[in-house]
Amino acid sequence: MPVGGEEYRILHPEAAEALIDEADFERDERLPYWADLWPSALALAGRLAAEDLRGVRAIELGCGVGLPSVVALRRGAEVLATDHYRAALDFAAHNARVNAGRELPTALLDWHSPPREPGSFDLVLAADVLYERRHAEALSRLVPRLLALGGEALVADPGREGCAAFLAALERAGLRVGSERRAVRQGGRGVGVYVHRISR
C-alpha cells in the first residue's frame, strides 16, 4: 500500500472476528480491534510520512499491526510499539522487519494500569483508540504522563464519541489541542479522519 509516496507491505489477519476470545470478552469485553487496518492508522501514517523524525523518541498506544510505528521508524524515530495483545505486537514487529529492515521494540501496555513511571517521549501516537468511553478516560490520564517537556501527541480519530471527552479532559489539564482533517481511501471509498495534535 502507498503511504506518502512510498510502498509498504503490511501483514494483518484476514478476518478479525475469527480472533474473538470468549474468555477475554467475558472478563473485560475485549475485542480484537488490533487486527484490522483502520482508516485512522492510514491517516496518521500519512501525516508521519512527511516528517523528519530522526532522533525523536516515540511511543504508539494500541499499535495494532503497527503501520504508524513502522512509518515513524522509517522516518528515523526510535519507536516503542505498545498494545494490550501479544499477537498485535508480533504483527507489528514483523511489519517493521519487512518494511524498515529493523527490529521494533514492543511492550504490552494496559492503559488502565500503566507502570508507575511509564517513561517520557517526544512523540505519542495513537490511531482510532477512543471507541470506548473508558478508554478515553484512561488515555486522558496516560498521555500527559508520557509526554516529555516540549513533546506532542498525534491522535487520529474518525469522530468517535469518546474523542470529544478525551480532548476536553486534556484541555482542562492545560494541554493545547489543534486538529486537521485528512482524507484517506480504503476499500475504494474516501474516509475522513481527524488528526489531533496535542502539546504542552
Tell me which residue has cell 501496555: 109
The CATH number of domain 33-199 is 3.40.190.10: no
- The pLDDT > 70 percentage for the chain reads 90
The average pLDDT across 67-95 equals 96
Looking at the whole model, is its pTM more than 0.75? yes
- Pick 77 or 190 by higher pLDDT: 77
| Range of 4-13, 62-71, 187-196 with top mean pLDDT | 62-71
Strand partners, 126: 61, 155
Burial 45-78 (b: 16+ CB within 10 A, else e): bbbbbebebeebbbbbbbbbbbbbbbbbbbbebb
Average pLDDT, stretch 136-162? 95
Q: What is the reported pLDDT for 19?
A: 47
Mean pLDDT of the chain: 90
Cell of 132: 470506548
φ and ψ at residue 171, rounded to 5 degrees: -65, -40
The whole-number pLDDT of residue 33 equals 77
pLDDT in tens, 15-54: 555 444 555 544 444 556 777 888 999 999 999 999 999 9
Q: Which residues contact 18 (CB under 8 A, 6 or more apart)?
A: none
Distance CA 170, CA 186 (A): 30
* Residue-level pLDDT at 116: 87
> Distance between terminal CA atoms of the chain?
34
